[in-house]
Amino acid sequence: MRILVIGGGGREHALVWKLRQSPSVEKIFCAPGNGGISLDGECVQIDVEDTLSVVEFPESNRIDLTIVGPEAPLVEGLVDVLSARGMRVFGPRKEAAMLEGSKSFAKAVMERHGVPTGASRTFDDCDAAAAYLEKAGAPIVIKADGLAAGKGVFVAMSHEEASEALDSCLIAQRFGEAGTKVVVEEYLQGQEVSLLALTDGRIVLPMVPAQDYKRVYDGDQGPNTGGMGCYSPVPIVDEALAASIVHTVHEPTVTGLAEEGIEFIGVLYGGIILTAAGPRVLEFNVRFGDPETQVILPRMKGDLCELMLSVIERNLADYRIEWTDDVCITVVAASGGYPGGYETGKPISGLDAAAEVDGVTVFHAGTVREDDTFYTAGGRVLNVTALAPTFREARERAYEAISRIHFDGMHYRKDIAERVERN
């Protein structure tokens, strides 16, 4: 099979890496890809925001399966366009992708179908939102309604912080169109877990849970990022709890959408918080998570390409995924200044030395390759990923490997999965 993967981050590198292991895969293209992906597949410079360019490539290059990695093309309806041309494509159509494209849409779906989530109100008027804040008090959560690259969520611990978040979205328009409407949500306490499930529109097949780290600094300090690290399995989520979450979150969402005439096919990512009152949905994503994918796929046995075909052919009923018992941890190496402003073009050294550590794979997130040298090209640059029998060994391997890597301004969290190792 000839496969096209849309995207160019660490998630896409992990997808390409796993797909390469499939005996049925002849060649993998990635648009636009990155430096590391260029070692595992052929990177093609297609403007993924130009739907016509994306459509022309699989038609002229005999692509058998297109996989859409990032959320933006899904929300823009790329799957609809490719499917209308008779192409096989993995990912939900535009109408279903609104679960991630609009937080207010997702909240309304959950309310209609009894999916547990925090109480919320939606506003497009700053004065009305401010009046609500006066009554609700703090702590409280302010979310830009649309896509904001993982940076449109404000956990406001004071009324002042909440007011600043509202002004940032509705007055300063920091997130453009994505922030012209906000969801004001109750503050929930508990550990967060990501539970991804594949679905063919009828059957829901869960993957293993993962837990990521959104804050930029150790001890969950500093601003939110796209994710600074992740691990799987999640000891606090046993099989019974995972099954319960799928039964109360994923299944009623997929079934409820189907009842409304919206078929969801692809990956439904539930961002779950484990409160004292039970699991609650913080957010839905409609694609593989990043960096969750980087710790889930190394634990997966079997053929990812075959699994994806089973999804789009609506044939998941008898499919089972097997998983290794090993622990997987990924640590993000980020550019100086991230998640704020940062410079790119910094040469990266030590990648070969890092890959020599037993059980380590380095997924590239924001790099370019020129000849044999890699350079930084994004905020999150590398996902240094380690697989081992225990949390202690996985942490030791990941941090030994990342200590061998250097680029100017590089920073990373030192406490990924530390809480689990202590326990």
Which pLDDT tens digit goes with each residue over 70-84? 999 999 999 999 999
- Interval 325-356: pLDDT, tens: 999 999 999 999 999 999 999 999 999 999 99
Contact call for residues 34 and 9 (beta carbons, < 8 A): yes
- Give the tens place of pLDDT for each residue, 176-201: 888 889 999 999 999 999 999 999 99
Pairwise CA distance, residues 198 & 100, whole Å? 16
Tell me the CA distances in angstroms from 97 to 74, 183, 254, one per residue in order: 6, 18, 12
Residue 117 to residues 7, 17, 106, 151, 327: CA-CA distances in angstroms? 30, 35, 10, 20, 29
Q: What pLDDT digit, counting tens, does each position of 295-330 carry?
A: 999 999 999 999 999 999 999 998 999 999 999 999
Give the Cα-Cα-Cα angle 311, 312, 318 (nearest 5 degrees): 35
Q: Is the pLDDT of residue 149 over 80?
A: no
Does the pLDDT of residue 423 top 70, yes or no? Answer: no
Structure tokens at 177: 């169109």
> Rounded mean pLDDT of 15-31?
97
- At residue 419 the predicted structure's pLDDT band, cuts being 50, 70 and 90, is confident
> What pLDDT is stored for residue 210 in this prediction?
98
**Hey, what amino acid is at 349?**
S
Checking if the pLDDT of 150 tops 80, the result is no
Alpha-helix runs per DSSP H in 349-390: 351-355
Q: How confident is the model at residue 422 (pLDDT cuts 50, 70, 90)?
A: low
**CA 387 → CA 33, 268, 381, 393, distances in Å?**
24, 25, 20, 8
The pair of structure tokens assigned to 204 is: 């829901």
pTM value > 0.85: yes
Q: At what angle are helices 103-112 and 251-259 packed, to 10 degrees?
A: 90
Please give the Cα distance from 375 to 369 (Å, whole number): 6
Q: Would you state the pLDDT for residue 49?
A: 78
Coil, helix or strand for 44? coil
Residue of 34, 41, 38 whose CA lies nearest to 70: 34
Q: Token pair of 236, please?
A: 């606090």
Phi, psi of 299 (to 5 degrees): -90, -10
Domains and CATH numbers, the chain: 2-93 (3.40.50.20), 125-180 (3.30.1490.20), 191-312 (3.30.470.20), 327-422 (3.90.600.10)
CA atoms within 13 A on the CB side of 250: 30
Residue 9 tokens, joined:
């981050």
Distance CA 121, CA 135 (A): 12
Residue 414 CA to residue 395 CA, distance in Å, equals 10
Q: Would you call the peptide bond into 73 cis, given omega within 30 degrees of 0 as the criterion?
A: no
Is residue 50 pLDDT above 90, yes or no? no
- Residue 43 above 70 pLDDT? yes
